[in-house]
Amino acid sequence: MNSAKQADLMTLPKKKLKLLNLVWLLLFIAGLVVSTNVTKTSLGALFSNFGQFAEIFLQMLHPDWSYMPAVIPLLLETIKMAILGTVIGSVFAFIYALLIARNIVKNKVVTGVLRVIMNIIRTIPDLLLGAIFVAIVGIGPVAGILALAICTFGIVVKLFYEAIETIDPGPIEALTAVGANKLQIIFFAVLPQVMTYFISYCLYAFEINVRASTVLGYIGAGGIGLYLQETLQIFDYPKTGTIIIVIILVVVLIDYVSSKSREALME
Amino acid sequence: MDTAMKKLPPKPVNLKKRLLHWGVSIVTILLIVWSCTGIDFGGIKATAGQIAGAIFTGIFNPDWSYVYNGTGEDLVSQLWSTICIAFLGTFISALISLPFAFWAAHTRHKKWYVSRTGKIVLAIIRSFPEIVLALMFIKAVGPGSAAGVLALGFHSVGMLAKLFSEAIENLDDGPNEAVTAAGGSKVNIIMFATLPNLLPALISNTLYRFDVSIRSASILGLVGAGGIGYPLIIALQYRQWNRVGVILLGIILMVIVIDWISGWIRKRLV
């Protein structure tokens, strides 16, 4: 083997440069430049003022534990809101998902229209819903519960109808063959196959709701977020630190319990 | 006909399982009942229906003079700045997420506590309320979109690094070993085995996070960190229900379009 050939073998084959990838890269860089300009983000400003940021953070790291007794009742209210929001939302999601699953409701117009409505509901972020419900029903946990219920609905309905559509059609056909009506088919062929999924999705939504409910109070929709707003407004960062630590503990704990029970459920 | 045929055999009873099911159901019901206590459902405003109606009218009869008037305070420019906040924030968080992801991926470390601590740190970042982070950045860089970008950039690390680390954990070791066997260095392994396998998952996760960031960016304005949330909260405070409707319509359209585009890109990636 001559040395030129050997050198040729030693180098890696050259990759073809794809033009399309280059276009994507250019688009991406353009996006970065434009968005930096629009948002006027400058890392220099962040670093020159980083001291202030760090100071708030340090104050939060020295939490004021005497504030705990005041926090607990609102913490309980937060959890109550999350539970009620999850329950209300998933009850509606349960019925709605059965209506938009194409293997149960055969009418494509009905399922299509209902799906568009579902997708629209899913787009609105939780806190915006909270702000709107505060304006509609007034300040208090009811606004938060309604916002959480709608969010839960959006999460559970999407996952649940996809689960329903992927079930084994055998039992449905068997029940149709022996002359069962729609309700009987749902009860004896569909639900036994998807109930564990439904419960798992509800728990998943509950985890998200616990997270969301902790800040809903900031805009007046009930729960611990109210104190978050009050302490931040008077720059009492040690108290804010207490609240945040409590929130993180509760969220991590509930996440852990709920994800463990989901794993146990899916076994 | 034989009557024995008509009776189904009794279902096998598993006492332990049944007890567990009953126990869980009772606890769940008790929890639900407990959460109904102490919440005042009677406090709904009498004008609730009227306001909801006004907002709906706004959705179906948008106030076109607000949609675009070139002042920079209109709906389109606010939505555009929301998208920019989400884009830049997601980019920053993707950059920060990479080292965190390698830290939290348990296949990368021999000692279990390294990845475990990484996972705990990510869980804490995830649970730190985004709004509080935004307020802290407002203190540092002043109110406006920049604070929103930074808050999003740091908050998203919690979720994005978790997704990244799962992608790293799912990585096949084969290519790495092949490069090592052929005499490749650590850099070669990363360049020719890890990155090409990882990149599609990273891009797909980042795009997914971008969808979420769009929603977050429209919230951050509620505390003054730029984007569409600010005009919304102002409209709510001044009871301009029509305007609330228009803004909602704008957000819905924006989220649907962005979801659609990123879904399209993700489908092409796979």
What ipTM was predicted for this assembly? 0.82
- The proportion of chain A whose per-residue pLDDT surpasses 90, expressed as a percent, equals 35
Convert A233-247 to b/e letters by CB count within 10 Å (16 or more is b). eeebbbbbbbbbbbb
Instruction: Please give the Cα distance from A103 to B20 (Å, whole number).
Output: 33
Question: Which residues in chain B have their CB less than 8 angstroms from residue A79's CB?
Answer: 35
Q: How far is B11 from chain A (nearest CA, A)?
A: 15
Say if CB B89 and CB B215 are below 8 A apart. no
Q: Hey, what CATH class is A67-266 in?
A: mainly alpha
More confident residue, A200 or B14: A200
Residue B21 lies in a domain: no
Q: How far is residue B255's CA from residue A120's CA, in Å, rounded to a whole number? A: 9
Separation of CA A16 from chain center: 41
CATH label of the domain that carries residue B120:
1.10.3720.10
Residue B116 domain-assigned (yes or no): yes
Range of the domain at B179: 55-269
Chain B nearest C-alpha distance from A104 (Å): 27
The percentage of residues in chain B with a pLDDT greater than 90, rounded to a whole number, is 22
Tell whether the model's pLDDT for residue B2 goes beyond 60: no
Q: Domain for residue B59, yes or no? A: yes
Q: What contacts A153, CB < 8 A, 6 or more positions away?
A: A89, A90, A92, A93, A96, A121
Give the Cα separation of A149 and A213 in Å (integer).
11
Q: What residues of A are in contact with residue B222 (Cβ under 8 Å)? A: 127-128, 131, 218-219
Whether residue B72 is contained in a domain is answered as yes
**pLDDT score at B111:** 79
Sketch the domain layout of chain A as residue ranges. Answer: 67-266
- Closest partner CB to A80 (pick from B39, B87, B146): B39
Residue B58 has pLDDT above 80, yes or no: no
Considering the domain boundaries, does residue B228 fall inside one? yes
- Report whether B100 contacts B158 (CB < 8 A): no
For residues A60 and B208, give the distance between their C-alpha atoms in angstroms, rounded to a whole number: 32
- Mean pLDDT on A98-106: 89
Q: How far apart are CA B209 and CA B203, in angstroms?
A: 10
Find all residues with CB under 8 Å of B55, minimum gap 6, and list them: A132, A136, B241, B244, B245, B248
The size of the A-B interface in CB pairs under 8 A is 171
Chain A from 122 to 141: CB within 8 A of any B CB: 123-128, 131-132, 134-138, 140-141
pLDDT at position A140? 86
Instruction: Give the pLDDT band (50/70/90) at residue A84.
Output: very high
C-alpha distance from B261 to closest chain A C-alpha (Å): 14
pLDDT for the residue B94:
93
pLDDT at position A79: 92
From chain A, the residues in CB contact with B51 under 8 A are: 135-136
What is the pLDDT of chain A when averaged over all its residues? 87
Task: Report the percentage of chain A scoring pLDDT > 70.
Answer: 94
The total of structural domains in chain B comes to: 1
Average pLDDT over residues B107-128: 84
Q: CB B215 to CB A125 under 8 A?
A: yes
Q: Is residue B160 part of a domain?
A: yes
pLDDT band at A8 (very low <50, low <70, confident <90, very high): low
pLDDT tier, A154 (very low <50, low <70, confident <90, very high otherwise): very high
> Is the Cβ of A208 closer than 8 Å to some Cβ of chain B?
no
Answer yes or no: is B6 within a domain. Answer: no
